[in-house]
Amino acid sequence: MSTTEATEPRAKRIALPRTKREAQAALGPYGRTGKIVGELDERFGIAKGGRTLLDKIFPDHWSFMLGEIALYSFVVLIATGIFLSLYFVPSADQVIYHGPYKPLDGQRVSAAFASTVDLSFSVRSGLLMRQMHHWAANVFVGSIVIHMARIFFTGAFRKPRETNWIIGTTLLIMAILNGFIGYSLPDDLVSGTGLRIAYSILLSIPFVGSYLATFLFGGNFPGTLIIPRFYIIHMLILPAIIAVLIGVHLGLLVRQKHTQFPGRGRTEHNVVGSPMFPTFMAKTTGFLFMVSGALALLGGLAQINPIWQFGSYKADRISYAVQPDWYMGWLDGALRIMPSWEWTGWGHTLPWEVFFPAILFPGLVFNVAFGWPLIERMFTKDNELHNLLDRPRDRPKRTAFGAAFFAMLFVMFLASSTDVLANYFHVSLNVVLWFFRFAVFVVPLLTYAATWKICREMQGVRGIGKRKRALVVTRTASGEYRTEPSAPRPGDERDELQPEPVPVLIELEPGVTVPERTSPVDGAVGAGVRQVKR
C-alpha cells in the first residue's frame, strides 16, 4: 500500500534515459514527431482536430487555383510593401533632387517623388521590389476578377455561400481602391493627374461633394495633406481590412468546405479530391513560389510606372502618356463616352457628365454584384443548399447575363483608349466616340443572345466536357490500316476511380502482406480498382 503511494508521484517525473535505445523507447513509436504532438496536444488539444485537418479533402480543378493567385499576390504585396515602407517618405515638402538619375538632378520635386526615385535607383534591389509591388497589385485585382467570374459562372455563390460572395466583392472594391491610392503616392505626373480627377469626381456628388472633397484633401486641390493621408490608408487601414476579410473568407471556405463539379462519386453531401497533407500542401506551397517567381520576373524585366520619365507632379502640366492602371480603365472609358449633360438651375449645378459615369454607374455595377445571389433567387425561388457546381452551359440565362455584363465593362475598358484607337486606325476621334456610345449598348445585347444560343447548343452535344482520346492510326506489315483510341491520360484515369476515404499508409517490411481491405463506400469497387494498372 505505502509503496504504490510513494512511487506514483515519482513516475510522473522525467527519468533521463541512459542509453540511445532507452531514449528511442522513451519517445514512443512515433519518435520526435510523436513527442512534439504529445506535448502540444496536452497544452492545446490539437491532435483530434489536427488529424481531421490533415485529412481535409480539397477538390481538384484548375479553376479552383484562381483565388490562390489572388491570395499569393497579396502575400507578395505585403512582403514588398514592407520593404518599400522603409524608404518611402510620404510628404509633399519640396526638395531639390540630387541623385544618380541625371535628367532630374537639381530639380525641385516633392519628397515623396524624390524618395521613390531614390529607392528605385539608390537602394539595392529597390527597383525590383517597387516594380514587383506594382505588378502584384495589378495581378491581385486581375486574379480577383477572374476568380469572381469562375464563382459566378459555376453558381458557387448560391446558398450557403452568399456571405463569402459578398466578402469577395468587398475585397475587390478594397483592392481597386488600394491600387488607386497606391499609385497616387509617388506624386508623379500620373498620380497627380489621377488625384485631380478623383477630386473632381468627389466634387460632382450633389449636396455633399464639395464638403467631401475639402475634407478628404484638407482644402482645395492639391494641398499638402493628401499624400500622408493616403499613405496611412494605403499601408495600414486598407491592408488591415483586406487581411481580416481574407481571413474570414478562408475561414468560411474551410467551415463550409469547397464546392466541387459533379462527377463519379461526388454528391451534395461529400467532398472528393486530394488530402490537405501532404498533397494539397505541396501543390499550394509550390504555387505560392511560382506566383512570387512570376511576379519577380515581371518586376525585374517588365518596366512599370517609370515615374522619373513622367516627372514630379506640377498642377499645370499634363501629358498624353498619362493613363491609369488597367482596373481604372472601365471608369475612364465611361467618363469619355458620356455626353456632356450638365444640369443647371436654381443656383445649383448637377454635373451628370461626371456624377453618372464615375459615381452612379460603378455604384450600380457593384450593387448588382453584391446583390446577385438575391437577384438570382428572386427568379429561381431556389432555397436549397448547393455544394455541387453548375456547368455554365446548363444555366444559359445566368451565363449569358454574366457574359453581357463583362462585355459591357470590356467595351468601356476599350473606350478608355479612344485617342489611341483613332490614331492607330486613322479614323476621326468623332467616329470612335460615337462607335463606343452605341457599342456599349449593342455589344452586351449581342453577347447575351450569342452566349445563350451557344449554351443551348452545347447542352445538345453528346460527350461534351469529356476529354476526347486521340485515335492512333497504325499500318500493319500487310498494309492494313487500324485505328485505336490512345491510352487514357493519367488524370482522366483517376477521374474514373471510385473515391475512397484517405487511407492510413503503413511502411511494409519485406515479405509482410496486408489483409485485403473492404471499401466502406462500395464493396464491389475493390475488384474494379485493381483492373487499372500501370
Partner 1 sequence: MSNTTNEPDGHEGHGGRTPVPMPVARFDDPHMQEAATHPQRTERIIALSFVLGTLAVAGFGAAYWVDGPPWVLAVTFGAGLLLLGFGLTAWGKYLMPQGPFVEERHRLASTADEQDAMSAALVQRTGVVVKRRRMLGGLFAGGAGIFGIVAIFPLLRSLGPVPGNTFDVTNWRRNSLLVDSNGRPVRVDTLQVGGIMTVFPAGAQNTEEGQAVDQTVLIRVSTDDITTQPGRESWGPRGYVAYSKLCTHLGCPVGLYEQQLQLLVCPCHQSMFNVLDGAVPNFGPAPRPLPQLPLKVDSSGHLRAQAGYDQAVGPGFWERTTR
Q: Contacts with partner 1 in 76-115 (CB under 8 A)?
A: none
User: In this chain, which of 473, 514, 524, 527 binds partner 1, going by CB under 8 A?
Assistant: 514
Is the separation of the CB atoms in 198 and 180 below 8 Å?
Answer: yes
Coil/strand/helix, residue 257? coil
Contacts to partner 1 from residues 320-379, by CB under 8 A = 320, 322, 332, 335-336, 338-342, 344-345, 347-351, 353-354
Angle, alpha carbons 137-142-144 (nearest 5°):
100
488 binds partner 1 (CB under 8 A): no
> Which is closer to partner 1, CB of 27 or CB of 274?
274
Among residues 27, 37, 41, 56, which is the contact residue for partner 1, using CB under 8 A? Answer: 56
Going from the C-alpha of 308 to that of each of 114, 117, 136, 210, 519, the distances in angstroms are: 9, 7, 21, 33, 67
For Cα atoms 180, 186, 187, give the angle at the middle one, nearest 5 degrees.
Answer: 95
- Using CB under 8 A, which of 96, 232, 250, 429 touches partner 1? 429
Look at the chain and count its residues: 534
Rg (CA), the chain: 30
| DSSP tag of 388 | B
- 279 interacts with partner 1 by CB under 8 A: yes
Please list the alpha-helical segments (H only) found in 122-188.
126-153, 162-184
Question: In the complex with partner 1, which residue's Cβ is closer, 17 or 286?
Answer: 286
Q: Closest by alpha carbon to 116, among 308, 315, 300, 373?
A: 308
Instruction: Establish if 47 lies at the interface with partner 1 (CB under 8 A).
Output: no
- By beta-carbon proximity to partner 1, the closer residue of 313 and 405 is 313
Piece of 3-11, 173-181, 457-465, 514-522 that binds partner 1 (CB under 8 A): 514-522
Amino acid at 210: S
Specify burial of residue 370 (Cβ count, 10 A radius: 0-12, 13-18, 19+). Answer: middle
| Planar angle of CA 247, 251, 257, nearest 5 degrees | 145
Indicate whether 399 belongs to the interface with partner 1 (CB under 8 A): no
Can you tell me which of 78, 79, 128, 359 binds partner 1, judged by CB under 8 A? Answer: 128
Q: CB–CB of 210/150 below 8 Å?
A: no
- Cβ distance 84 to 130 under 8 Å? yes
d(CA 226, CA 91): 9
| Interface with partner 1, residue 290, by CB under 8 A | yes
- Closest separation in Å from C-beta 291 to partner 1: 8
Among 22, 42, 55, 105, binds partner 1 (CB under 8 A): 55
Please identify, using beta-carbon distances, which residue of 17 and 363 lies nearer to partner 1: 363
The Cα–Cα gap between 28 and 352 comes to: 76
- Counting contacts by CB under 8 A, is residue 505 touching partner 1? yes
251 lies in the site for partner 1, by CB under 8 A: no
Asked whether position 300 contacts partner 1 by CB under 8 A, the answer is: yes
Query: For partner 1, what does the binding mask look like between residues 252 and 271, x meaning CB under 8 A?
Result: ---xxx------xx--xxxx
Q: Which of 374, 504, 524, 527 binds partner 1 (CB under 8 A)?
A: 504
Which residue among 27, 149, 167, 216 contacts partner 1 (CB under 8 A)? 216
333 near 414, Cβ under 8 Å? yes
Q: Which of 296, 369, 408, 411 binds partner 1 (CB under 8 A)?
A: 296
Segment near partner 1 (CB under 8 A); pick from 11-19, 27-35, 38-46, 201-209: 201-209
